[in-house]
Homo-oligomer: A and B are copies of this chain.
Amino acid sequence: MLTAKLSIAQNKIVVFQTDFGLKDGAVSEMKGVAMGVSPDLKLFDLTHEIPAYNIWEAAYRLEQSVRYWPAGTVIVSVVDPGVGTSRKSVVLKTKSGHFIVTPDNGTLTLVAQSLGIDEIREIDENVNRRQDSKKSFTFHGRDVYGYTAARLAAGVITYEQVGPLVPKQVVSIPFQQAVLDGSTVKGDIPVLDVQYGNVWTNIPDTLFNRLNPHVGDIVHVSIYHKHQLVYKGEMPYCQTFGTVAEGKPLAYINSLLQLSFALNMGDFAKEYHVSSGNDWSVEASLK
């Protein structure tokens, strides 16, 4: 069955991300099809709890975690409100050696920028589509994306056999880049750390460090939704949550090395009605 040689990169690992949830059989169907392609594949999940149709969050979760998988891993992301329309189905090969199989609908906005585009190929559905699936118009996740990912990861097809090369550009969702404006850093809130209610920004430590912050310094923070002030306050810059009292706010650098805000043992987002997305912005400065 495995007739093509593995490219240098493929490592038989497939990681799935969707907005399908875990309550029905959809994720299982994708994995069943993959195991039918090759029983040697190793299948993992990124998350299946992307809010329905939320392409921005799909993009962010890829940005957050793809880099921690070994080079050669094939990641499938199916958040696809335009299923069946003319959006392209592609496989991005990043400069880091990861393969991302997805509709090109904005899902690649962040990883294309951070990991870099080595090549993009459009999936040729004449070849890379599960047999007997022609009658079904709506489960591309199983019949095209998951199937192609499994075949690529297993070496049944080479990367070249995915389909034709397309220009090195992806559909991008506009978003507020992080900037330094005088003595203030500005950015957006790409996502919440939902489990704990921590507020994560897109402001990298390297930018924040240009304010020359020291542990214990007081940070002034303003948070806006559609340019309306939602939160204004000050908090110490900390390396550990436990250095402030329970329920007190702190600023810190999160595990993605970006400026973040939290309440020790509490839920900052819930307490101050802060959410995430392109229409949320942040300003921070030192006292």
Contacts and interface: CB of A to CB of B under 8 A. Distances in A.
Contacts of A35: 13, 42, 44, 69-70, 73
The prevalent SS among residues of A at the interface is loop
Contact of A24 (B21, B53, B193, B241): B193
Interface string A110-152: 0000000000000000000000000111110011000000000
Contacts of A31: 44
Interface string A19-57: 111111110110111011001001111111100110000
Nearest to A50: B23
Nearest to A25: B65
A43 B15 CA distance: 13
Contacts of A29: 64-65, 68, 255
* Oligomeric state, in copies: 3
Interface residues of A, number: 66
Interface of A: 11-13, 15, 19-26, 28-29, 31-33, 35-36, 39, 42-49, 52-53, 61, 64-65, 68-70, 73, 81-85, 135-139, 142-143, 191, 193-196, 205, 239-243, 252-255, 257, 265
